[in-house]
Chain A
Amino acid sequence: MRAGLSSLSLAIARGFFRDRTALFFTVLFPLMFLVLFGGIFKDQTASRSEVVQIGPVSLLDDIRPAARAQVDEVLKVDRIDDRAAALERVRKGEVDAAVEEEPGGRIVLHYSAADAVKAGTVRGLFNSLVQSGNLTRAGVTSPAYRLETAQVEDESLKTIQYITPGLLGWAVATGAMFGAALTLVTWRQKKLLRRLRLSPVGVSTIAGARVLVSIVIALVQTAIFIGVASVPYFGLKLSAYWWMAIPLIIVGTLSFLSLGLLAGSFSKTPEAATAIANLIVLPMAFLSGAFFPLEGAPPWLQTISRFLPLRHLVDGMQAVMVRGQGPGDVLPQLGILLGFAVVVSAIAIALFRWEDA
């Protein structure tokens, strides 16, 4: 029944895309988190120290134009000649420090201990400025030691790199779980399942249509997420094998569909199905590292998370989308997700009822 499959799929898809609430919770809501987290933590890794300069400070004023650009990358300097006003701004935390020069080459840095990290950064910064100033005065052009730093991007992912696969995984899980649970429960409640049972199409066609639509929805979610996260403002950089996320998303969708079917088997009303699906999806998202890294979590929690399909989807997607790992590296995740889908579907099929008893 090819015609049956396509017309049922079309009916389900139309029902979904016309449902504003469902669209909001499966697409817009997770996207809001992406925009929110992506925006808030955007500058976290490259934050500049802000300093006000009181009166002339030769250490800053005399920096040669060539070195200026380098300094600007890490330091933003404003000049205020009113000393009291400058100190007040430091006290309020509006700037990280105020700097002034006293006679005899004494550079005084006023900082607030309220933010220890910023205070430490700005002190270190001025220490090195003073030292390089001294070297310049002494006529040293090629110092004996020089420190260069390099960030290992794949160990400490930039926020957007981390949250895109995580939030996408959460969005896909929500869409597939609620889709399966609500279709099962509302169709059973409205006796639509019974009506379909009286038509010549088989159960596999009905289930196939739901699976097909859910996969399409998941891929649409993926396209929107990657599209939004890749705009320069957020700056997501996909690695070479990002397309391996597609098979991951597909098997992930299958396992969340099976969970949704299970939730639907236990519910008589759409309200109950929504509650049960929420009870599964939200804790699973937290425990799977969809919202924040699990590295600091206690071992028992890590153990629990390994039983959750979302954990493996998020791990797999991070590996291929942003950590630059290859297709072979996510074979375990693919296998686990598929196995999960098979086992849970089997349970859900055993519990399946055409109608309320």
Chain B
Amino acid sequence: MPATISVTDLHKSYGDIHAVDGVSFEVDEGEFLGILGPNGAGKTTTLEIVEGLRRADSGQVRVLGESPWPRNTRLLPRIGVQLQASSFFERLTAREQINTFASLYGVPAKRADQMLETVGLVEKATTRTENLSGGQAQRLSIACALVHDPDVVFLDEPTSGLDPQGRRNLWDLLRDINRQGRTVVLTTHYLDEAEALCDRVAIMDLGKILEIGPPASLVRGLDAPTRISVETGAASEEEARSLFPDAEVSDDGVSLTIATRSPAAVLSELAERNALHGLSVKGATLEDVFLNLTGREYRA
């Protein structure tokens, strides 16, 4: 079966800037793909080309077997795009908003009300969108993108500007959407979001995909050291250095940190010495993957 989305050697330039510089990837049916990268990495432009909002300079895009450019009215009812939370009609209530979008797709109002329930906005149905909180507006805009039951959903930085609680709520909603069998493509500049939600992550920088794969295997493939911290004083810095000659040891006066590629040996040695006070173990994250790929710290 062909992939739900296939992108081959995509290029897009604005003047001298190669916003998208040879991007290729595929997304299977029901998959949750995250496109991760700092601002200006080219992820939004890539997404816009796939959605059919922009024309690529070269390369091929197929979504559900169709070309999204020029504007393809056979494809449009099958994809749902969530834009920023401000893309609403002025002075309409949440229900009027979603009903308007529903009728653009010929979807009955009943289904729109159901969608409002799915995103937990029933009690806000008669509130004007201008008076919704950031998280509520985000959820409404996702509901508007899903009201016509699309097969593929595109989300562009859905959680930016939300508080931690709002982000968690939205993550649950996005997982549900994916669990219903929809293919989801999301861009984000939050590493933890990509790790928490996506089946696969494409890491983009300067218009190129640097690495693509499941977050766990990207991190594992990194062969990055595990950071083991205990309370300062549980063991002295010199002691730790002599015990673990291969590890990197540092003490900032609060915690003694041992960065090692053989965490099991270190942990059992520390346990034997009863030196596990305030223990914390941190594996590598996508942040380390990004650092390793670009040689730069990740800055969102």
Contacts and interface: CB of A to CB of B under 8 A. Distances in A.
B88 A192 contact: yes
A15 B101 contact: no
B73 A191 contact: no
Contacts of A6: 103
A76 interface: no
Contact of B90 (A10, A186, A196): A186
A191 B100 contact: no
Nearest to B106: A3
Contact of A191 (B51, B83, B103): B83
B92 interface: yes
A190 B88 contact: yes
Interface residues of B, number: 27
A356 to B, nearest CB: 13
Given A192-B89, A198-B52, A3 B76 contact: no
Contact of B91 (A14, A191, A198): A14
A195 to B, nearest CB: 5
Nearest to B156: A191
A199 interface: yes
Interface in B71-121: 71, 73, 76-77, 79, 81, 83-84, 86-92, 96, 99-101, 103-106
Nearest to A17: B91
Given A15-B90, A18-B91, A7 B103 contact: yes
A62 interface: no
A306 B77 CA distance: 48
A191 B76 contact: no
A1 B104 CA distance: 8
B53 A11 contact: no
Interface in A63-91: none
Contact of A11 (B76, B79, B92, B144): B92
Nearest to B144: A195
A227 interface: no
A192 B91 contact: no
29 contacts: A1-B104, A3-B104, A4-B103, A4-B104, A7-B99, A7-B104, A8-B100, A11-B92, A11-B96, A12-B89, A15-B90, A19-B91, A190-B88, A191-B84, A191-B86, A192-B87, A194-B87, A195-B87, A195-B144, A196-B104, A197-B53, A197-B71, A198-B52, A198-B79, A199-B76, A199-B101, A199-B105, A200-B73, A200-B77
Contacts of B144: 195
A201 interface: yes
Which 9 residue pairs are nearest across A and B when measured between Cβ atoms? Answer: A7-B103, A18-B91, A15-B90, A199-B104, A11-B89, A191-B87, A11-B100, A195-B87, A15-B91
A198 B51 contact: yes
Contacts of B52: 198
A196 B92 CA distance: 16
Interface of B: 51-53, 71, 73, 76-77, 79, 81, 83-84, 86-92, 96, 99-101, 103-106, 144
A111 B52 CA distance: 83
Indicate the member of A18, A192, A200 with the most B CB atoms within 10 Å: A200
Contacts of A197: 53, 71
A13 to B, nearest CB: 11
Given A8-B104, A11-B96, A194 B53 contact: yes
A4 B103 CA distance: 6
Contacts of A191: 83-84, 86-87
Given A195-B83, A201-B104, 19 more contacts: A3-B103, A4-B104, A7-B104, A8-B100, A8-B104, A11-B96, A12-B89, A14-B91, A190-B87, A191-B83, A191-B84, A191-B87, A192-B89, A198-B52, A198-B76, A198-B79, A199-B101, A199-B104, A200-B105
Interface string A220-246: 000000000000000000000000000
Given A15-B91, A199-B105, A10 B73 contact: no
A8 B104 CA distance: 8
Most chain B beta-carbon neighbours within 10 Å: one of A6, A18, A190, A201: A190
Contacts of A10: 100
Interface string A199-216: 111000000000000000
Contacts of B103: 3-4, 6-7
Nearest to A196: B104
Given A199-B101, A199-B104, A15 B53 contact: no
Contacts of A7: 99-100, 103-104
Contacts of A200: 73, 76-77, 104-105
Nearest to A205: B104
Nearest to A195: B87
A114 to B, nearest CB: 55
Contacts of A190: 84, 86-88
B83 A14 contact: no
A19 B86 CA distance: 18
Given A1-B104, A200-B105, A194 B92 contact: no
B141 to A, nearest CB: 9
A30 B87 CA distance: 32
B110 to A, nearest CB: 15
A191 B88 CA distance: 8
Contacts of A194: 53, 83, 87
Nearest to B128: A18
B53 A198 contact: yes
Nearest to B68: A198
